[in-house]
Amino acid sequence: MKKKKVLFLINNLAAGGAEKILIETIKKIDKNKYDIDLMTIYDEGIYINDAKKIANYKTIFKKHKKVLGISFYSLILRYLKIMPSTYLYKKYIKKTYDIEIAFLEGAATKIISGSTNYNSRKICWVHVDPIAQKHSTKNFISLKSEKKSYKNYDKIFCVSTKVKKSFMKRYNITKNVSVLLNVLDENTIIKNSQETINNSDFINSTFKIITVGRLAKQKNFITLLRIVNRLKDKFKFCLFICGEGNCRSELEEYIKENKLQKYVKLLGFVNNPYPYIKNADLYVCSSLAEGFSTAVTEALILKTPVITTDCAGMTDLLGNNEYGLITENSEEALYNGLFQMLNNQKTYEYYKKAAIRRSSDFSSKERIKEFNVEVLGDTKC
């Protein structure tokens, strides 16, 4: 049987949720049926070596520092914005594919939308709430141009119900838009969570609160630190943050100024955060915006109770506060929620049992079956 040729295009393979989901998804695709190319726009990210093991890895732009004193990234951003999608596609997509997938909004979506291969199935993903996070439009001359790009796709998949609603509202597009939940390998997550933790601060902490994510403004860790500062004299606990990013110096400065060294530990990028998540007493998400939180899903898989701000995807994961506590997206609301979790044993025990109940609902087998049918058109999987 002749293999179908599939292209996945994404901006880079950095340590983000969409990038991780892409790797997990490709791992599960039957390589006897599909010949997979994974192409990045920028040749960077921690998942490049993983990509090379599971697909034919390609990239468009090799990494450079500066050109004539201007950052290479800024130059490419301008270039991608100005050039027509058909030009970009013809210049950089050299092969003919049966299925072409833009796995991220923005530049990847623009390039694949210019496909001149009229026989291919064209699919794109929306991983963020496009009203809360409008950054994808910077890759287009206008919102009208971005909307036109989306109309060239056969299918538009949103990672949560809220993302879908926001997408339809922002672009006034309803045709071929649907929700497809992320693929996560729950068995590998559970297996990796068994590793031993050698961090004495974590081991000796009375009540362990964990969060995982890039140290970026979107994750809103500075607000979480302000909340810790308000709670530190009321309860015994320690917040552990797994992640790295450009907000590190700001967080370090706040920790130092407010003497939070005993209450907050910045662990940096942790290759395997699952033992921390599994052995924590509580997972907290303080994000200003999400599309569908990979980290919260992983916490539920590992039966760790969750408190989160109200972001896209949280009601899909947690229901109406049924499987985790969702607060309004404000400092005061998250503070009150964390206070309740730390102060009220009955509330905490309820969400601990709820996380255990919810953990069994995440089956990668069902997710990849849905992916094969909806995306690859494989009805015999």
Q: Nearest-CA neighbor of 153 among 188, 123, 175, 120?
A: 123
379 assigned to some structural domain: no
Q: Are residues 322 and 369 in the same domain?
A: no
Q: Measuring CA to CA, which residue among 136, 181, 135 is closest to residue 293?
A: 181
Q: How far apart are CA 47 and CA 40, in angstroms?
A: 11
Torsion angles phi and psi, residue 219, rounded to 5: -75, -15
Per cent of the chain over pLDDT 90 is: 77
pLDDT, mean over the chain: 93
| The pLDDT of residue 69 is above 60 | no
d(CA 102, CA 6): 11
Does 209 fall in a domain?
A: yes
Tokens for 257? 């100024």
Q: Residue 364 and residue 362: Cα distance in Å, rounded?
A: 6
* Whether 315 contacts 293, CB under 8 Å: no
Cα–Cα distance for residue pair 58/122, rounded to 1 Å: 19
- Regarding whether 215 and 80 lie in a shared domain, the answer is no
Strand (E) or helix (H) holding 203: helix 200-204
What is the Cβ-side half-sphere exposure of residue 370, based on CA atoms within 13 angstroms? 13
**Sorting pLDDT into bands at 50, 70 and 90, what band is 313?**
confident
In a domain? residue 81: yes
3-state DSSP assignment of residue 238:
strand
pLDDT tens per residue across span 33-68: 999 999 999 998 889 999 999 999 999 998 766 555
Q: What is the pLDDT of residue 163?
A: 92
Q: Are 21 and 49 within 8 A, CB to CB?
A: no
Same domain, 67 and 79: yes
Q: Does one domain contain both 192 and 180?
A: no
Residue 54 in tokens: 């599971």
pLDDT per position as a tens digit, 153-185: 999 999 989 899 999 999 999 999 999 988 888
pLDDT in tens, 126-138: 998 999 888 899 9
- 315 exposure class (CB count in 10 Å sphere: 0-12, 13-18, 19+): middle
* CB contact at 8 A, 286 and 211: yes
Q: What are phi and psi of 59, to 5 degrees?
A: -145, 155
How confident is the model over 233-243, as pLDDT tens digits?
Answer: 999 999 999 99
Q: Give the position of tokens 């009375």.
A: 206
Report pLDDT digits (tens) over 316-358.
899 999 999 999 999 999 999 999 999 999 999 999 999 999 9
The pair of structure tokens assigned to 6 is 């599939």
Residue 66's domain comprises 4-184+363-374
Whether 9 and 57 share a structural domain:
yes
- 380 domain residue, yes or no: no
In whole angstroms, give the CA distance from residue 338 to residue 321.
Answer: 14
Q: 213-236 pLDDT, tens per residue? A: 989 999 999 999 999 999 999 999
**Number of separate domains in the chain:** 2
* H or E element that contains 101: strand 99-102
pLDDT band at residue 362 using 50, 70 and 90 as cut-offs: confident
For 301-335, the DSSP string reads HTT--EEEE--TTHHHHHTTTTSSEEE-SSHHHHH
Burial class of residue 256 (count of CB atoms within 10 Å of its CB; 0-12, 13-18, 19+): exposed
Identify the CATH number of the domain in which residue 122 sits.
Answer: 3.40.50.2000
Instruction: Say if residue 231 is in the same domain as residue 134.
Output: no
pLDDT value, residue 256: 97
Asked if residue 317 and residue 201 are part of one domain, the reply reads yes
pLDDT value for 73 = 80
How far is it, in rounded angstroms, from Cα 8 to Cα 124? Answer: 10
Output the pLDDT for position 361: 82
Shared-domain flag, residues 141 and 193: no
Cα dist. 262→43, 205, 222, 239, 255 in Å? Answer: 39, 10, 17, 9, 9
Q: What is the pLDDT of residue 291?
A: 79
**Do 151 and 9 belong together in one domain?**
yes
Q: How far apart are CA 110 and CA 100, in angstroms?
A: 12
Residue type, 149: S
Give me the percent of the chain exceeding a pLDDT of 70: 98
Residues 325, 225 share a domain? yes
Neighbours of 49 (CB within 10 A): 10
Q: Which H or E element spans position 249?
A: helix 248-257
Asked if residue 381 is part of any domain, the answer here is no
Are 175 and 194 part of one and the same domain?
no
What average pLDDT does this structure show over 6-31? 91
Tell me: do 112 and 259 sit in the same domain: no
